[in-house]
Amino acid sequence: MAHPGPRADRRKFLTGVVAAGAATAASTMTPPAARAAETAPRAPSALRPSMQIAAAETQTPRELARVPGIPGSDFMVDVIKTLDIKYLPANCASSYRAIHESLINYGANKMPEFLSCMHEESAVGMAHGYFKVAGKPLLTLCHGTVGLQHATMGIYNAWCDRVPVIVMGGNDMDAAHRPPGVPTFHSAQDINALVRDFTKWDDTPVSLEHFAQSFVRAYKIAMTPPYGPVMISLDAGLQQEPMKEHGGEKPAIPRYVPTAPPQGDSGAVKEAARLLAGAQNPLIVADRAARTANGVTLLVQLAELLQARVIDTGGRMNFPKTHYLSAPPSAIGSGDVILGLELSDFWGVVNSWTDNGMNGGIGTNGTRIKNGTKLISISSVELNTKANYQDFQRFQVVDVPMAGDAEATLPALIEAVKQAIANDRKAAIEKRGEAAKKAYAEGRARTREAAALAWDASPVSTARLCMETYNAVKHLDWSLVVSEGNVSNWPNRLWPMQKHYHWLGRSGGYGVGYGAPASVGAALANRDLGRFSVSIQSDGDLMYAPGVLWTAAKHKIPLLAVMHNNRAWHQEVMHVQRLSNFRNRVANLGGDLGPVGTSIQNPDIEYHKLAESMGWWAKGPIKDPAQLGPALKEAVKVVQAGQPALLNVWTQPR
Amino acid sequence: MSNDGMRFILVLAAFVYSQAASAAGLAEKGKAAFVQHGCWQCHGYLGQGGIAGKKLAPNPMPLEAMSAFVRNSSGAMPPYQKAILSDADLADIHAYLQSLPKAPDAKSIPLLNP
């Protein structure tokens, strides 16, 4: 709700205009004061007019703004500009027209620069991908009702992926004065309620001072680990009304000072170090542990100190794939002490669930670890759990749970482990490292053998797709911004990922439709850093909101999108087939390859033409693996020249 | 060579050819059944396997073992009972998997050895 003061001012504005007009009309009549003047002695008629009077009488009158004073939305732009936000991907909407105008005119469309988006979900997805490269959040604007409804899945993905996005929704709250019809359809009592379950914080400022505090607070909360999206409701009246007087000065804007991330309790850190140092076979499992490149460095230090193998579940690029301590998920059973770092699903790491229709259809649970294995957890997400959405996963009992940010806790843990390692353990630790080197080499050989299977198949095998792509970009400073649609995890298994930006993780909430916009957002950040962006883009993901292709072309965002086009929502293909089998029924294919409702064929979508129509260089469909390498070479050149390029490749299902 | 000898060679060649043609025919039918019954969904069109399903070819397990597994699986693989996959189709699928050539040696593929 807006403050009664400015609300009254805004709503009385038209009345004021009418009154002013009446006064002007009245002045043309003969008022009493004028009549009195007529009786006074006449001034000489030959006096020269002043410059001002001459100008007023002879020149075109200066145009006045219809709304006087400084618009509230100009001040909002002042606030936004204090936070160094580079871009604002958004789909335009009348409920934020005032701040839109201020951003592009008063704010000169810089810091932030408005990026035209076709869909609010795309805008949030772009902000999501951008942050994972740049480490800085973006702002997006939307209608607080219909636009926010579009944006919600993207916000949920950001929430689950612990990524800050600042969302502002326009909303005209004053029912007595807001325009009737469409704007009223687009208004609500509490727009933030729609996303409150999966945002860290939200607010509805009712004055400009309040806005300044809310925006800086929102930024601060979003950027304190665990990161997360935040929401601000932006009243249309507050945007449009002129600023109230503040002694001739604008309201104060609070200074942003980052909050230090939370660290694990020192006693718990010491106990964790004792367990790890004394373990026969300690294991580290990392999910979103490395928030920054320094997180990778710290994790390498800890792993080498203990000669502990590291399972990187891929929420971020936590640990170099080229390091001999890098281990596959199957290594979990070998640990007697397991350290979980920012795991989104600790239960799922140490247990298994088989979807086999047993137990009345609910499947079978099993353990993947030995009896007596000690579990340690460092996770900041414990500080920010909500009730409704179940992203906290199944409950797992942990021996040493720490509510704290893993990356911020690692320096203390490393020091504590150094203190805890007894001299007589050092030989055993070294021996453990030798065993890890052997296991790593054997694992790599097995992975290559698996990749060679169906190497020359048509449609193209996912291993071939990924390795042809790697071959085309390996000489560049590459960043694999997205790998959607499940290509049997080949990039993580075979690409020599070492740098933090070599892999950005996945969507978080597994909401399909993340890949295309997140890859464009990440490519935008990489463009500014001079890196080459490449994505494995699945067909189903692209079709949720393909308009983001246009945004990439419009704003000259170079990106190589190599399509994993298996012509299906393939996870669902397998699900429906599985249920058909459990029920002993032949799956109805309806003339397609997969069960009815799961295939994207008949007709096949010509993604290359779709991309071309929106300003991309594109080629396809490529079904013969021998054609893929040459096409990739062409596409890489196009992207290096600054244009996005897409290859539509028909692939094996997984 | 005597006429009898020549006749024997011709008969043997015809037998071998018919066996090969028969195997090829079964493999072709098996390929269609492999797709129709959805085996490709998790195992790939060439039975190469991946994150969703194990490798089936080349060198598939014996038909008897494969049949027992397919009928009774209680693991991640959903079972196919006779009502939805006949013994004949299963045998054809096995023939198809047997017909698939050996994969190239990973060491001979430059892209796998960057």
pLDDT in the model for residue A27: 39
- Please, what is the end-to-end C-alpha distance for chain B in angstroms? 57
Q: Which domain holds residue A321?
A: 266-447
User: Which member of A451, A455, A577 has the closest CB to residue B41?
Assistant: A577
A248 occurs within a structural domain: no
pLDDT at A46: 60
Q: Give a yes or no: residue A288 inside a domain.
A: yes
CATH code assigned at B72: 1.10.760
Q: Is residue A549 part of a domain?
A: yes
CA-wise closest residue to A91 among A115, A64, A71, A107: A115
- Give me Rg for the CA atoms of chain A: 30
Could you give the C-alpha distances from A518 to A231, A531, A536, in angstroms and in order? 19, 16, 12
Which residues fall within 8 angstroms of residue A608, CB to CB, at 6 or more apart?
A618, A619, A620, A621, A646, A647, A648
Indicate the pLDDT class of residue A109, thresholds 50, 70 and 90: very high
Pair A337, A486 in one domain: no
At residue A52 the predicted structure's pLDDT band, cuts being 50, 70 and 90, is low
> Is residue B110 in a domain?
no
Q: Are residues A442 and A467 in the same domain?
A: no
CB contact (8 A) between residue B75 and residue A356: yes
Last residue of a domain, one of A425, A447, A469: A447
Please tell me the predicted confidence (pLDDT) of residue A69: 86
The CA distance from B19 to the nearest CA of chain A, in Å, is 27
Q: Is residue B106 part of a domain?
A: no
The Cβ of residue A610 has, within 10 Å, a number of other Cβ atoms equal to 17
Same domain, A461 and A443: no
| Domain encompassing residue B42 | 3-100
User: In the structure, what pLDDT confidence band is assigned to residue A446 with cuts at 50, 70 and 90?
Assistant: very high
Contact call for B48 and A459, based on CB within 8 A: no
- CATH number where A457 lies: 3.40.50.970
Same domain, A638 and A555: yes
Residue A37 has pLDDT above 70, yes or no: no
Q: Which of A358, A453, A470 sits opposite B103 (nearest CB)?
A: A453
- CB proximity list for A265: less than 8 A, separation 6 or greater: A402, A404
Yes or no: say if A623 and A650 are a contact pair by the CB < 8 Å rule.
Answer: yes
Task: Say how many domains are in chain B.
Answer: 1
Q: What's chain B's average pLDDT?
A: 90
pLDDT higher than 90, residue A50: no
**Distance between CA atoms of A315 and A227, rounded to whole angstroms?**
14
Does one domain contain both A310 and A231? no
Instruction: Show Cβ contacts of residue A393 under 8 Å, excluding neighbours closer than 6 positions.
Output: A344, A345, A346, A347, A348
Give residue-wise pLDDT tens across range A462-489: 999 999 999 999 999 999 999 988 999 9
Could you say which of A364, A453, A577 has the minimum Cβ distance to residue B48? A453
For residue B78, being part of any structural domain is answered with yes
* More reliable by pLDDT, A69 or A304: A304
Pick from A456, A471, A577: which is nearest to B38 by CB?
A: A577
Q: Do B76 and A461 touch (CB under 8 A)?
A: no
| A-chain residue closest to B54, CA distance | A450
The alpha-carbon gap from B89 to the nearest alpha carbon of chain A, in Å, equals 13
- Predicted pLDDT at A58: 73
Residue B108 lies in a domain: no
pLDDT at A9 over 70: no
Give a yes or no: residue B9 inside a domain: yes
In tens, the pLDDT along B51-77 reads: 999 999 999 999 999 999 999 999 999
> Could you tell me the pLDDT band of residue A66, with boundaries at 50, 70 and 90?
confident
Return the pLDDT at A505. 98
The answer to whether B109 faces chain A, any CB pair under 8 Å, is: yes
> From A595, which residue of chain B is nearest by alpha-carbon distance?
B38
Partner-chain residue, chosen from B38, B83, B109, that has the shortest CB–CB distance to A452: B109
Binding-face residues of B in 9-48 toward A, CB within 8 A: 35-36, 38, 40-42, 44-46, 48
Q: Are residue A204 and residue A76 in the same domain, yes or no?
A: yes
Q: Which chain A residues are closer than 8 Å to B76 by Cβ?
A: 354-356
Using CA coordinates, name the residue in chain B closest to A471: B111
The answer to whether residue A32 sits within a structural domain is: no
Residues A479 and A431 placed together within one structural domain of the fold: no
Across A298-309, average pLDDT: 98
The arrangement of strands across the sheet holding A139-143 comes to A139-143, A166-171, A230-235, A201-203
Q: Nearest-CA neighbor of A340 among A367, A373, A307, A370?
A: A373
Residue B25: its pLDDT value, please? Answer: 78
Terminus-to-terminus CA distance in chain A, angstroms? 52
pLDDT tens column, A448-467: 999 999 999 999 999 999 99
Among candidates A358, A457, A586 on the partner chain, residue whose Cβ is nearest the Cβ of B74: A358
Percentage of chain A beyond pLDDT 70 is 91
pLDDT for residue A245: 65
**Is A52 within the bounds of a domain?**
no
Q: In terms of CA atoms, which chain B residue is nearest residue A468?
A: B111
**Contact status, residue A492 vs residue A321, Cβ threshold 8 Å:** yes
Instruction: Flag residues of chain B having pLDDT under 70.
Output: 1-2, 8, 10-21
Q: How many Å apart are CA B42 and CA B54, to the nearest integer?
A: 8
| Nearest 10 degrees: Cα torsion A154, A155, A157, A158 | 120
Please check whether residues A93 and A230 belong to one and the same domain. Answer: yes
d(CA A394, CA A344): 10
A636 in the same domain as A560: yes
> Where a domain ends, among A426, A447, A468?
A447
> Could you give the percent of chain A with pLDDT greater than 90?
87
How far is the C-alpha of A501 from the C-alpha of A522, rounded, in Å?
Answer: 10
Specify if B19 maps to a domain. yes
Residues contacting B14, CB < 8 A, separation 6+: none
Q: Report which of residues A396 and A10 the model is more confident about.
A: A396
CA-based R_g, chain B, Å: 18
Q: Does the pLDDT at position A582 exceed 70?
A: yes
pLDDT of residue A377: 98
For residue range A264-298, list pLDDT tens digits in order.
Answer: 999 999 999 999 999 999 999 999 999 999 999 99
How far apart are alpha carbons A460 and A156 in whole angstroms?
33
Give residue for tokens 């000169």. Answer: A108
Residue A251 lies inside a defined structural domain of this protein = no
Name residue, tokens 């805004």: A10
**Number of structural domains in chain A:** 3
Closest approach of chain A CAs to the CA of B98, in angstroms? 14
pLDDT for the residue numbered A272: 98
| Average pLDDT of chain A, as a whole number | 92
Helix orientation angle between B87-99 and B3-36, rounded to the nearest 10 degrees: 110
- A582 is a domain residue: no
Per-residue pLDDT tens over the stretch A641-651: 999 999 999 99
List, for residues A205-255, the tens digit of each pLDDT value. 999 999 999 999 999 999 999 999 999 999 999 999 898 766 667 899 999
The alpha carbon of residue A362 is apart from the nearest alpha carbon of chain B, in Å, by: 13
Q: Strand A230-235 relative to strand A201-203: parallel, antiparallel, unpaired?
A: parallel
Residues A440 and A460 in one domain: no
Phi, psi dihedrals of residue A156, rounded to the nearest 5° = -65, -40
**Average confidence (pLDDT) over A64-70:** 80
Residue A158 is predicted with a pLDDT of 98
* Cβ–Cβ below 8 Å for A468 and B105: no
- Nearest CB neighbour to B104, from listed A452, A474, A593: A452
Same domain? For A334 and A478 the reply is no
Evaluate the CA torsion angle A32, A33, A34, A39 in order and state its sign: positive
* Cβ-based contacts of B34 with chain A (< 8 Å): none
Q: Examine residue A418 and state whether it is found in any structural domain, yes or no.
A: yes
Minimum distance, in Å, between the CA of residue B102 and any CA atom of chain A: 8
Mutate to test the interface with B, among A354, A446, A455, A497 (most CBs of B within 10 A): A455
In our burial notation (b when 16+ CB lie closer than 10 A, e otherwise), range A266-294 reads eebbbbbbbbbbebebbbbbbbbbbbeee
Confidence band, pLDDT 50/70/90 cuts, at residue A68: confident
pLDDT tens per residue, range A136-171: 999 999 999 999 999 999 999 999 999 999 999 999
Query: Using the beta-carbon criterion (under 8 Å), do B78 and A570 form an inter-chain contact?
Result: no
Q: Does A23 score more than 80 pLDDT? A: no
Name A557's Cβ contacts closer than 8 Å, sequence gap at least 6: A520, A523, A524, A527, A551, A644
For residue A43, pLDDT over 90 is answered with no
Alpha carbon B109 to its chain centroid, in Å, reads 25
pLDDT recorded at residue A474? 98
In sequence order, what are the beta bridge partners of A166?
A139, A230
Same-domain check for residues A209 and A280: no
- Provide the b/e sequence for A141-162 (b: ≥16 CB within 10 Å): bbbbbebbbbbbbbbbbbbbbb
In a domain, B44, yes or no: yes
Question: Over the stretch A324-369, which tens digit does the pLDDT of each residue have?
Answer: 999 999 999 999 999 999 999 999 999 999 999 999 999 999 999 9
